[in-house]
Chains A and B, each alone.
Chain A
Amino acid sequence: MTKVKVAMDWLAGCAGCEMSVLDMDERLVQLLDKIELTSTPITDLKHPPKDGVTVGILSGTVNNTTNVEVAKEMRERCKILVALGDCAVFGGLMTMRNFFNMEEALKRAYIETESTVDGIIPSSEELCKPIKAVPVGQIVKVDVHLPGCPPSADAIYHVLTELLEGRIPVLTGDNLKYD
């Protein structure tokens, strides 16, 4: 049987969701009998393959212009897109800066931080531009929402096994958590 191709990528996040993926422990090994992880932020290959994957998983908030590109690339190359974690689903911690304007936020981060001396706001042309922090669903269509900060390994395993069975997963009980 050919394996189902799964690609992961991250946006503005903390890698907590990826830790939770690893927390599946030996179940991850069992899953690898059925799925092929083509690319992830924590393996060598970073971009989802051009010929596409069945399931794409994105964690983190869409926080800047690079995040928008990454989200769009994943959407184009996957059939089913999973938003993994509170940041991808709701916008998460990064949205706290939406309560301020960009200038205030950048000034606070790069100049006014208590540990900063002679700080400057980065302005190189090569850098991406920060945008209002939004969940993935605001940029591209999301098929499966898996909230949690981070979602538990059980919830991630549930979502992946349901998808392998050909069902769109429904989260209930302990699998549905916002914190």
Chain B
Amino acid sequence: MEKMINLRINGRQIRARSGQTVLEAAKAAGIDIPSLCHHPAIAPHGACRICLVEIERQRTLQPACTFPVSEGMKVETESPKVVEERKFVLQMLFSERNHYCMFCEMSGDCELQALAYQYGLDHWLYQNPYPKISVDGTRKYFIMDHNRCILCRRCIRACTELAANNTLGVKFRGAKTMVSADMDISFGESTCVACGSCLQVCPTGALVDRKSAYTGRNAQVERTQSVCLFCSVGCGIEIVTRAGRVLRVEGEWEEHNRGVLCVAGRFEPVYDNRERIKTPLIRKNGDLVPATWDEALDVIAAKLKTTKGNQVGAWTTCKTLNLTMSELFAVFQGKIGAYVGVLEPTLAELELPLGGTLSELVASDCILVVGADPLSNHRVLGYHIKRARMKGAQILLVSDKSNELSGFADKKFTPEELSKAVKICQAAATPFVVYGGETTQKDAEKLAGLKRKAHFIPIFPATNGYHAKVLGLRSGMDGNNKEVIYLLLEDVTPSEEVVKRAQEVKFLIVHTSYHGPITKTADVVLPSLLWYEQEGSTYNLEGKKVPVRKAVPLPEKLIPESEVFTQLAARL
């Protein structure tokens, strides 16, 4: 059992766990100690000195965020001496760079500003020297304005501890200290992977999101907790919206990804400017013309009724929610006996387990990566593998292609040498197997030997591959010559092979969000919802069912995919 410690904070008797800091103990007891450089998701640093407290028998004031509790300790958090020092610290912070709130993007949401309000700072004692400091706008999605930086180093710690990318650091010393990337190059040229973790933890207006800058303060926006649908990691996200518009995406701290996202989930979706399909479309005299849902579903139902069940094929991307996939299966296979499959591999044939968690992965001492390149397409998982490596884990990479993880692998093996890697895992204390879409059945047989010993994390090539696996849907369109094909693509651009196969069919129904080569030959096109309009659930890479929530009202004339199946079933 953990040792408990008795201490007094502001005269109140508190019990804390041994090893906790004064700040943590106070917070657990409901006592607020202001902090600025501290962030619960990253290690304490003690850079800003805002959390200074008076501790009996300590010669000077001590930072609560780094000072450990001890038996009989007496702490004062708001004594006159403490308040005076905090005001002084604030005066110093404001005196250094450009902290004019009136033209700052973060005004209203800034943690530095909030503290100045809290301590009644109505003017500055020390006049700003107006140092000429640059703004770095070389990154695509967010800018760094060094003028607003207070050198709290949250960004640096987030880069190192959360994304395990180690791009950020500081250059120079004292008042000239600056946050810098790699060996002092621009952020755009640096090893930055644009995961945006630094942006999310910045307490001031130093890091600013380009897209959502000046579009609304926290009090003016709505936040919807949902799931990122852009890979099977299934990161928890908060979709920030205002007046039905998506402003930006932030990482959810309480989910398995612990606030971390990647460029494909945080930024790229907000920049998608493909042409949206707004209504159902029916081909008439060679052209696709807008139609009502009733007209479109009547045409589909009529076609399905006059076609033999075994001449109908329905394929869906795995990027669909649980209910959508189940209903598709129920309607097409259950009701008309059609073939139902998925476009991407489901890893079902490998017969390997799942259930390993990201938190356990980070604590693992040996990670075996097979048939996958997590750093290029399941990046948040990749960051966690790198985090484990920083804590001493051995990374074993089995790959014969170029792989983003190559530079971080302790040992590399060709697929033929997999047995050697398995042997190393057998000798480890808490081994992990991360297997992806390129794992062969032969590989799987070798990996099966680790079932008792290791945790397994599958990397499904598409978001909800797990549900497709559970439903037993087969993947791929090979060897299925059908008269009628229904394709549910959501916002996925299909491969050329799928487009080619679809072009050969007599009657093609495409259910998708965007126009593209696939809709050119379709006989009926149904519009699908986008990631921030979907409501339901999906599975994340830990095999946990997670709720997906709608962040904006649905555009007129659009209905959810599962509702489309219900209406279609009623016609059959």
Contact = CB atoms under 8 A, between A and B. Distances in A.
Given A95-B130, A99-B130, A99-B132, A179 B122 contact: no
Contacts of A135: 123-124, 127
B100 A95 contact: yes
Nearest to B133: A99
Nearest to B100: A90
A48 interface: no
B128 A95 contact: yes
Interface residues of B, number: 19
Interface in B96-141: 98, 100-104, 107-108, 113, 116-117, 120, 122-124, 127-128, 130, 132
B102 A149 contact: yes
A76 B113 CA distance: 34
Interface in A129-176: 134-135, 137-138, 142, 145-147, 149, 170-172, 176
Contacts of B102: 86, 92-93, 149, 178-179
Contacts of B127: 134-135, 138
A83 interface: yes
Contact of B120 (A95, A138, A170): A170
Nearest to B101: A178
A39 B216 CA distance: 40
A176 B127 CA distance: 20
A89 to B, nearest CB: 5
B122 to A, nearest CB: 4
B123 A142 contact: yes
A7 B132 CA distance: 37
Contacts of A177: 117
A179 B105 CA distance: 11
B130 A178 contact: no
A69 B132 CA distance: 29
Contacts of B120: 170-172, 176
Contacts of A171: 120, 122
A89 B116 CA distance: 14
Contacts of A95: 100, 128, 130
B107 A178 contact: yes
B116 A178 contact: yes
A89 B108 CA distance: 19
Nearest to A100: B132
Nearest to A178: B101
Nearest to B117: A176
Contacts of B123: 83, 89-90, 135, 137, 142, 145, 147
Contacts of A147: 122-123
Contacts, number: 60
Nearest to B113: A178
Contacts of A93: 100, 102-103
A98 interface: yes
A91 interface: yes
B107 A179 contact: yes
Contact of B122 (A91, A98, A100, A146): A146
Interface string A107-141: 00000000000000000000000000011011000
Nearest to B98: A99
Nearest to A150: B102
A163 B113 CA distance: 27
Given A147-B122, A171-B122, A98 B130 contact: yes
Nearest to A86: B102
Contacts of B122: 89, 145-147, 171, 176
Nearest to A149: B102
B233 to A, nearest CB: 39
B131 to A, nearest CB: 8
A151 to B, nearest CB: 11
Contacts of A179: 101-102, 104, 107-108
Nearest to B116: A178
Contacts of A90: 100, 123-124
B130 A86 contact: no
Contacts of B108: 179
Contacts of A134: 127
A94 B361 CA distance: 53
A100 B133 CA distance: 11
A120 B101 CA distance: 33
Nearest to B108: A179
Nearest to B94: A90
Nearest to A132: B130
B535 to A, nearest CB: 37
Contacts of A142: 123
Contacts of B128: 91, 95, 98
A145 B108 CA distance: 20
A98 B132 CA distance: 9
Instruction: Tell which of A86, A142, A147, A178 has the most Cβ of chain B within 10 Å.
Output: A178
Contacts of B130: 95, 98-99
Interface string B403-417: 000000000000000
A137 B126 CA distance: 11
A96 B98 CA distance: 9
Interface of B: 98, 100-104, 107-108, 113, 116-117, 120, 122-124, 127-128, 130, 132
10 contacts: A90-B100, A93-B103, A95-B128, A176-B117, A177-B117, A178-B100, A178-B102, A178-B113, A179-B102, A179-B107
Given A91-B100, A99-B98, A137-B123, 4 more contacts: A86-B100, A92-B100, A95-B130, A179-B101
The 4 closest A-B pairs by CB, nearest first: A178-B101, A145-B123, A98-B130, A149-B102
Interface of A: 83, 86, 89-93, 95-96, 98-100, 134-135, 137-138, 142, 145-147, 149, 170-172, 176-179
